[in-house]
Amino acid sequence: MRAVTVDRWLEAGELTVADVPEPEVRPGTVSIEVHAAGCNFFDILMIQGKYQVKPPFPFIPGAEIGGIVRAVGEGVEEFAVGDPVFASNGLGGFAEVALSPASSTYPLPGGMSYAEGAALPIVYPTSYAGLVDRGNLQPGENLLVHAAAGGVGLAAVQIGKALGARVIATAGGAEKLEIARRNGADEVIDYNEEDFVPRVKELTDGKGADVIYDSVGGDVFDRSLKCIAWNGRLVVIGFASGRIPEVKVNRILLKNIAVTGLHWGAHAVNDPARMGETFDALFALYAEGKIKPVIYKTFGLDDVSVALDALASRKTYGKVIIAP
């Protein structure tokens, strides 16, 4: 089969496609013919050797896929050959065939495309768990979503709106602001043109945002503390800016706020039951038409370098998809 292989730490532009043996199905896994694979920022960090997970060489990147079951391993009873599925497979997605644990594989909901399936299993549960479990978002509250046109940001905008919040979105440029607005943002702020802190205060009559959803870190985190409401919750899910911020805890005390984090992948080990509950909630929202993955563009397997470069340069919105 054809696959993108990484045999040393390298840049996205150096990725190549090679012929490699098809993975053999193992107990507890399913083999999936990959029709779509989602791209994530951590894919870039992983191939550079800058991510916290450093797979042994050689490895195939790509952590979320949509496709058709080709074979089922011993002990797997919930799937059969020919089933349309999506999966959070961890590694191996940028290939014509990939293995996934059955426990991280889900039936593709009716009406959902393979590309949409490949766009769902990381950013949507991350945003749902971040807003519901960690942020305790309530109807009528003001939710501030940073980088709201990215994959995880758009998921948070859609879910926040579905949960009854007033959504304030930050993004860079008119196109990305319009994408956020079309997906449920009530108010939008171009961080290239204005300081979001006074604008958030203005939009909330001086109160500030009840919940702030931050995948950026760095200066964005620092400034978010200046526009968070009394009893507010700042949910940290990543550091796309590259700088991991620090906070003086007197700020937490003085405004009675909570700074909390969400690492969705850790639920598989520490709280697996919550994973099923979260996906059930997401499936219900999808069936009601309240969430829908947004696809920026689909690239062929040979263009994976172009796809990841576009993601790294912040030119994209929603999810970037590879179609092996």
Task: Please name the amino acid found at residue 298.
Answer: T
Quote the CA–CA distance of 223 and 136 in Å, as a whole number: 21
**pLDDT in the model for residue 150:** 94
- 128: tokens are 């749902």
Report whether 119 contacts 319 (CB < 8 A): yes
**pLDDT in the model for residue 240:** 86
Q: Where are the domains of the chain?
A: 2-120+293-323, 123-265
Segment 80-132, tens digit of pLDDT? 999 999 999 999 999 999 999 999 999 999 999 999 999 999 999 999 999 99
**pLDDT in the model for residue 265:** 86
* Strand-pair partners of 30: 72, 100
**pLDDT in the model for residue 314:** 84
* Strand-pair partners of 214: 236
**pLDDT in the model for residue 179:** 97
**pLDDT in the model for residue 49:** 95
**pLDDT in the model for residue 269:** 83
Pick the CATH number of 2-120+293-323 from 2.40.37.10, 3.40.50.1220, 3.90.180.10, 3.30.1360.120: 3.90.180.10
State the angle between helix axes of 304-312 and 41-48 in degrees (0 to 180), rounded to the nearest 10: 110
Quote the CA–CA distance of 304 and 317 in Å, as a whole number: 17
Q: Which residues of the chain have pLDDT under 70?
A: none
Segment 120-175, tens digit of pLDDT? 999 999 999 999 999 999 999 999 999 999 999 999 999 999 999 999 999 999 99
Report whether 189 contacts 199 (CB < 8 A): yes
CATH top-level class of 123-265: alpha beta
- On whether the pTM is more than 0.85, the answer is yes
